[in-house]
Amino acid sequence: MIRFLFKLFLSLVVLLLVYNYFLGTPEEKSTSKKIFGEVIHLGKSSWDLLRAEKQKLRDGKYDMAIDKVSQLLDGIETAVNNSDNPNLSEQYQHLTEKRDQLLKLEQASGALHGNEVNTLTEKEKMERLKLLKSLLSETELLMNQLENR
C-alpha cells in the first residue's frame, strides 16, 4: 500500500514537472528546468559514487573484514567453550572452517596472481564476497545465541 502511494506521488510530481516544463508560465518553466538539472546532477553523482566504490572493492577495501571476523571469532571462542553446549561448539567449528576456507581462497588468489588482488576475476570476487557475507551472518547468529544464554 505504501509502495503504491509512493509510486502515485512520484508519478504526480513527474507529470507536474513535465507539464510545467512545456506548458507552464515562464517562472514555472525555469523552476522545472532547474529541478531537471538537479536530478541529472544527482544521477551523475550517484553513478560516480558507484564507480568509486567498485574501484575501492577492486583495490581491496573490504579485505580487512576477514581479519576483523577472525578477531571476533577468537573472542567468541572462550564464550563457546564456557557454554558447555555441543550445538554452539559445532556452530563455532563450522564458522572457523568457513573462515579458513575464505583465507585459503585469499591466499591462493594472491599466489596465483603474484599477490595482486586487482587481477581477480569478477566470479572469484563475487564468490569471496558471498562467502564473507555468509560468514558474517552466521557469526552474528552465533553471537545472538550466546547472548541469550
113 and 137 in a common domain: yes
Burial of 135 (0-12, 13-18, 19+ CB in 10 A): buried
Grid cell locating 99: 573462515
105 and 34 in a common domain: no
Q: Which of 59, 79, 108 represents a domain boundary (last residue)?
A: 59
- The Cα 23–Cα 44 span in angstroms is 27
Read off the pLDDT band of 15 (50, 70, 90): very high
- The Cα 122–Cα 114 span in angstroms is 17
What is the pLDDT, as a whole number, of residue 120?
Answer: 66
115 and 52 in a common domain: no
Number of domains within the chain: 2
Q: What is the mean pLDDT of the chain?
A: 83
78 and 46 in a common domain: no
143 and 70 in a common domain: yes
Task: For CA atoms 73, 77, 78, 79, give the dihedral sign.
Answer: positive
Read off the pLDDT of residues 28-77 as tens digits, 9 standing for 90 and up: 999 999 999 999 999 899 899 888 887 877 776 666 777 788 888 888 88
- The Cα 87–Cα 82 span in angstroms is 13
111 and 71 in a common domain: yes
40 and 68 in a common domain: no
What is the pLDDT, as a whole number, of residue 26?
Answer: 95
Query: In terms of residue numbers, what domain contains 81?
Result: 63-147
pTM: 0.52
73 and 34 in a common domain: no
Task: For CA atoms 115, 75, 147, 149, give the dihedral sign.
Answer: positive
47 and 109 in a common domain: no
Is residue 66 a contact partner of residue 106, using CB atoms and an 8 Å limit? Answer: yes
